[in-house]
A and B are shown apart, each in its own frame.
Chain A
Amino acid sequence: MNIRNIKNLLVSYFIENWRRDLLKSWIVVFLISALLSWAPFVILAVVVALIILWPSQILANATNVSARINYLMIPAGTAEKIVANMLIANVYSVIAIVFSAWAGYTAAYLFTTYCLHIDNLGSYLSGFDFQRLGCSILTIYVFISIFFFGSIYFRKNRTVTTILWLLIVSIVLFVIYYSIVYLNLKIINPADPFYLNIQTTQTIAHYNAGVIANNIAEAATIIYFYFLSFLRLRETEA
């Protein structure tokens, strides 16, 4: 893997896409400024959704014939292409969206406060909390890696197809896990499987796998999906 090749790939990406990315950033600015009066939870959810969905269109290697030829003509190895696009998806696009969202929010806040003299919007940047979304920053990177893989794996309508497959897999896994838990509870208490002593459930906290185990699992998932993306790219190249 050559670092100079990765740098050249990044430079070529910026030269080819800076107009489109600038347009996207302006859309984010206006979207977030329009959402100013909404709850911080909604604004944060929109920003997270944008961060996750941005890389879902990143690698147009198999969408059509010209994209395939264009991809194969790039003088770099598969690993270099993956690393360059990983940097774009995980660093560049996240910074671009967070900065655009912050700029839109600040501009709208200043405009409504000093020009329209509206002072009932709450304090500046208050209420933005990742814990309220029920996810950590690492979870967002897990979804970025999944949509990155989806952008390589599917050929047409990549974002929608990835979302649909995520929904299908989630529903199937939910049904399987629900059945497993129900069968276990049925074996333990055949008369009333849904019986759960609420007063003593606080001690169930002992059975939490813990934050560290959760983070390790998420990191493993990220590595897994980037490895799978690499493998899929090698297959399509062959």
Chain B
Amino acid sequence: MKKYTNKILLLTLLAFTVVSGIVITILIQHANRVHPEFFHPVEDKSVQKALPVGSGSDTVAIVKPGQIDTTDINNL
């Protein structure tokens, strides 16, 4: 009778390692697609959308003395 046990053991271990390695890779990549915030910091775009256009630091308000409306917090 031919000796199969060693071959079966080795092949099973190899197949198990390769298949589980592929499964782990697929799971991590899938997790990265669905929840990228797990793996790297993601910019929170929801806050930027909430602000009105032109309210950032790139706009400069040109006002004359005495014309500043202190009730508008964006002009301060």
Contacts and interface: CB of A to CB of B under 8 A. Distances in A.
A130 to B, nearest CB: 25
A178 B31 CA distance: 17
A231 B4 CA distance: 8
Interface in A17-69: none
Interface residues of A, number: 28
Given A204-B31, A235-B1, A235-B5, A180 B38 contact: no
Nearest to A183: B25
A234 B1 contact: yes
B54 interface: no
Interface in B32-67: 32, 35, 37-41
Contacts of B39: 185, 188-189, 195-197
B31 A231 contact: no
B29 A200 contact: no
A181 to B, nearest CB: 6
A68 to B, nearest CB: 16
A185 B5 contact: no
Given A169-B13, A224-B12, A228-B5, A192 B40 contact: yes
Interface of A: 153, 169, 173, 176-177, 180-181, 184-185, 188-189, 191-192, 195-197, 200-201, 203-204, 207, 224, 228, 231-232, 234-235, 238
Interface of B: 1, 3-5, 8-9, 12-13, 17, 20-21, 24-25, 27-29, 31-32, 35, 37-41
